[in-house]
Amino acid sequence: MTRRFLFRQAANLALTVNAVRPVPGMTASLPVFFAGWLTSELAPQLLAATALDASVHVARRGLGDRSDRLGVAAAGASAIGLAAMTVSARRAGTEVEDALTEGLGPDYREVADLPGRTAEALPLRKLAMPFHVRRPDVVRHRNLAYAEGGKRFAVDIFHHRDMPSNAPLLLEIHGGGWVTSNKDHQALPLMVEMASRGWVCASINYPLSPKAKWPDQPIAVKRAITWFKEHAGEYGGTPEFLAITGGSAGGHLAALAALTPNDPSVQPGFESADTSVQACVPMYAPTDMANETGLKSVRLRSESFLMPMVFGKGAKFPDDYLVASPYAKVRADAPPFFVVHGSNDSLVPVPESRAFVEHLRSVSRNPVAYAELKGAQHAFDVFASLRSIEVLNGVTRFLEWSRVHARSTERVAVGS
């Protein structure tokens, strides 16, 4: 019993240390991510569990031998780290608000008729059920087909139970390194939240590598955009405003779609379709596929086993990778962007987003907001946590602002 307690707390401490300071390097990135992601986003729950475990053990057995004392010491060290992560996650609201104020302007809330900033209570109910994302006022239509080809071309539609009218659209693209995952497990909190606010939301699958080869993925995204605009009216939406978002590989595809409107090279057979979008929110996304930034992390990714699976073994670096690189596609008429990335990301290190934002800001005429979240790992937004709730609220404000911005820009264009 005593040794089991010590082993539990030693493992807990190792997870905490990894979450606070992830082990660097490409080789260990996947296990480091999984362990750090869950620990950092569930820090309040783990803190409570650690305190309870240690308290019960001491009450039952005291501190009679060395294993007891070492276990309690490990629990104490873990508690300090978990408490620090909890405080850091709570600060995400300030980080996001500062990013939006800097990127959109100090009056962005007034422009979008959003309520002023107020101190919000701790979301205890969501933290108690972090994986529960259903809402009674949201309807979900599952596995509709946006193109021929089976389940990899399926889309789920979310809308308010009271059918909206002329609602804005939001399209979500899941992550998974272009080789795994699906629409059923990512960004559900955002889909449900925006649908409850009267938006019509779509979450799509797309062809996965190695079976699919580039540009199958961006072509599928363009088909999904086209289908969504054509069928939006059936669910109360309007094609006049469409925002696009995604995390990781999905964020890459979202950014690429936003920067390649109506590009015939990724619209074979539907070249005349309008695939433009009015706002983009890429989360922890790889944006430099050809290593134009010269970053070591990008070079290591380009040399990894993953890239030949996505682009094919015959693809030449960097020439064949440029067409897939949002960094290479930045343009003056890019829509407003809100880029979000965690400082502790093991899979896509944060310097890549910093470089992308700097480059996009130097070219685009539209606002570019950037939130760097201290202590956040990859995929921090998959379920409800202190941090993800704050980010979701910020993304909601950005999307509402973008809708107003698009209308005002259109009026100016018509007037001129």
Catalytic residue, chosen from 68, 156, 216, 345, is 345
Catalytic residue, chosen from 57, 252, 341, 378, is 378
Q: Is 248 a catalytic residue?
A: yes
Residues 67-73: contacts with CB within 8 Å, 24+ apart? 67/2, 67/3, 67/5, 67/6, 68/2, 68/5, 68/6, 70/6, 71/2, 71/5, 71/6, 71/8, 71/9, 71/10, 72/9
Residues 6+ apart with CB under 8 A from 55: none
Q: What is the C-alpha separation between 5 and 12, in angstroms, rounded?
A: 10
Q: Are strands 200-204 and 368-373 parallel, antiparallel or unpaired?
A: unpaired
Catalytic residue, chosen from 40, 78, 203, 248, is 248
Q: Is 345 a catalytic residue?
A: yes
Q: Is 185 a catalytic residue?
A: no
Q: Please list the active-site residues.
A: 248, 345, 378
